[in-house]
Amino acid sequence: MTKLLTALLLGLLLFAAGCIPLIPRKQFLSLANDVAFAPELTCEQLKVDFGVPDLPTVKDPAELGIPFERAFVKTADGQTLQVWYIPAQPERGLVLLAYGAVGELPCYLLLTKHLHADGWSMVMYDFQGFGGSTGRPSFNTLVTDHNAVLDWTLARTGRDKVTLMGISVGTLPTVAQAAARPEAVNAVVLDGLLVLRLQVRRAWLLIGGWVEHYMKVFDPRLRIEEQLARVHQPIFAVVYGRDEHAKPWQIRKILSRAPGEVTIVEFPNLMHARGPYLATDEYFARLQ
C-alpha cells in the first residue's frame, strides 16, 4: 500500500501542475491493483522486509510435520484458487485465513504453525494472481475469492460456522463476509485493519472532494467502515502504534461502529501487521 500512496501522490502533483489530466476511474483501479498487490515477492524477501531474516522458510505445512490437504476451488468468475486445509486433532475450531497483499501461502506458515499447535484447524488460500491460483490480483475479486473458499470450507468440513481471520488487505473480504453471511461466521480476527477510504484520502489530499469519485471504482463491499456496522459477531482486532496506513485512534473509531463485542490489542512499537513476527509469544498468547 505504501507504493500505492507514492504513485498516487506523484500523479496528484502532476495533475495539480497541469502536466496530466485527472486519471480516469478505470485507470485508477488498474493502477491501484498494480501497485498495491505484490504476488511476485518471495518469502525470503518478505522475511527481510519484516525484520526476521533468520526465520526458516518451508514450502508447505508438510515440511513442518503438519498433515494438510491441497485443493483447487473454482470462483464465480471462472478462476481457480489454491487452497490448503490443515486439520487439527483435537480441534478447538476452524479458522479461514485471508492473508495480505504480498507473497503466497508458504509465507504465512508461521501463523499456521502456532494456531495449529493451539488446536485450530485452518483453511488458507491464494488470492487470484497469487501463488498457485489463476487470474490477476484485483481489489474487486477479493470478496469473490473469499466467498468461493468459504463455501468450499463449509462443504469440506461439514461445519455450520467458522472463524474468519484477515491480515491487512485480507481484512477487507473478511469483514465483508462476516457482514453478508452471519449464519456462517462465529467470530472475526482482524490483524492490521485496512481502510480503503483512508488510503485514497491520503493520496488525493490536495483535491479532497475527489475521494468519493475514486472510491466508486472499488467493490462497495470493501467499504469496511460501513460493513462493520453490520458485523454482530465478536471481533478480535490487532492494532499497531506505528502502522503506516492508519493511526490507532482511526482504527479504534472505525471498529467502534461494530454493534457486537470488540476486543482490541495494540502493539504500540510495531508497524503494520508485524505482530506475528516481532512479538510472536505475546501475539499468539493474546489470540487464545
Cα 124 to Cα 109: distance, rounded to the nearest angstrom: 10
CB atoms closer than 10 angstroms to residue 272: 20
Q: What is the pLDDT of residues 8-36, one digit of tens each?
A: 555 554 444 444 446 777 788 898 899 89
Average pLDDT rounded to a whole number, residues 220-226: 97
Give residue 20's pLDDT: 43
Confidence tier at 7 by pLDDT (50, 70, 90): low
- Across residues 89-104, what is the average pLDDT? 96
Distance (Å, rounded) from C-alpha 164 to C-alpha 174?
A: 6
Q: Which three cell numbers stand for residue 77?
A: 468468475
| Residues 6+ positions from 76 with CB-CB distance below 8 Å | 144, 147, 148
Q: Is the pLDDT of residue 235 over 90?
A: yes
Number of H helices, E strands in the chain: 12, 8
21: left (phi over 0), alpha (psi -120 to 50) or beta: beta
Provide CB contacts within 8 A for 212, sequence distance 6+: none
Three-state DSSP at 162 gives strand
Here the cell at position 254 is 472505525
- Quote the percentage of the chain above a pLDDT of 90: 81
C-alpha cell at 30: 488498474
Q: What is the DSSP letter of 9?
A: H
Write down the pTM of the prediction: 0.91
Whether the Cβ atoms of residue 251 and residue 202 lie closer than 8 Å to each other: no
| pLDDT at residue 207 is higher than 70 | no
The average pLDDT across 71-75 equals: 99
**Structural domains present in the chain:** 2-287 (3.40.50.1820)
**Residue 151 pLDDT class (50, 70, 90 cuts):** very high
